[in-house]
Amino acid sequence: MALSVIDRSVVSLTDTDSKELSLLNLNLGMCTTFVLKASDFAFLIKKETLTDMALDDDGVTPSVWGSFKYGYTLPVDFLKPIQIAWDKKNSYAIRFGKLWCNFEDPDLEYIPDTLEIVTEEYVMKDDFMSLIAYQLALHVAPILDPNSDATSIAAQLYTLTFKSIEENEAWNNNRPYDYGSTTGDESTVEAYIAKQYEESR
């Protein structure tokens, strides 16, 4: 898909003499990481309970860093944190390969640094894989075809696809139970919706 944006192709994925293939292989890891970090894609998020606590030299007392009481070893495939202990407002810090917080055995939600195309948790979305392809095209087009419009086309395709994914993911944005309400009967979702309907009339 990346090469199609530049109007190029490869005969075989094992062709070691192919400049196109060499460039794709060289940039694939970097482009994948770039896209993984681009947003908190809900379909990529993994959850793990952290239990490997950092201890002081006595092997018993939990290590302390700054104002945080506990330090935990991060998952081996960790790339980017989303939240800990079920709330994005909970404070934490990542230093020295550890996640530091004030929770014992916290649940960590995070973006992994590798793509598991099919698992029991999710099936990789085609449009997400397209993002990686368009990012690849952005990286290789200036080298393979510097005088064409391929770079700007790849950028447009990346932006359109990214916005499409974000719009489709919007329903995952959690809101407080009493979102938009003030007091009294309006503190329920049903009452709030009814009030909004009345006001819209």
Structural domain boundaries enclosing 89: 42-112
pLDDT digits (tens, 9 = 90+) for 79-118: 999 999 999 999 999 999 999 999 999 999 999 998 876 6
Q: Three-state secondary structure along 159-176?
A: HHHHHHHHHHHHHHCCCC
Single-letter residue type at 177: Y
Q: Are residues 35 and 47 in the same domain?
A: no
Q: Please give the mean pLDDT across all residues of the chain.
A: 85
Kindly state the average pLDDT of the residues 133-150: 93
Burial of 122 from C-beta contacts in 10 A (0-12 / 13-18 / 19+): middle
The pLDDT assigned to 174 comes to 57
The pLDDT assigned to 117 comes to 67
> What band does 47 get if pLDDT is binned at 50, 70 and 90?
very high
Q: Are residues 123 and 106 in the same domain?
A: no
Does the residue 179 lie in any domain? Answer: no
Q: Are residues 143 and 55 in the same domain?
A: no
Kindly state the average pLDDT of the residues 15-37: 92
pLDDT digits (tens, 9 = 90+) for 154-163: 999 999 999 9
pLDDT over 70, % of the chain: 80
Residue whose C-alpha is closest to residue 175's, from 198, 193, 199: 193
Does the residue 67 lie in any domain? Answer: yes
Does the residue 190 lie in any domain? Answer: no
pTM over 0.85: no
Asked if 86 and 107 touch (Cβ cutoff 8 Å), the reply is yes
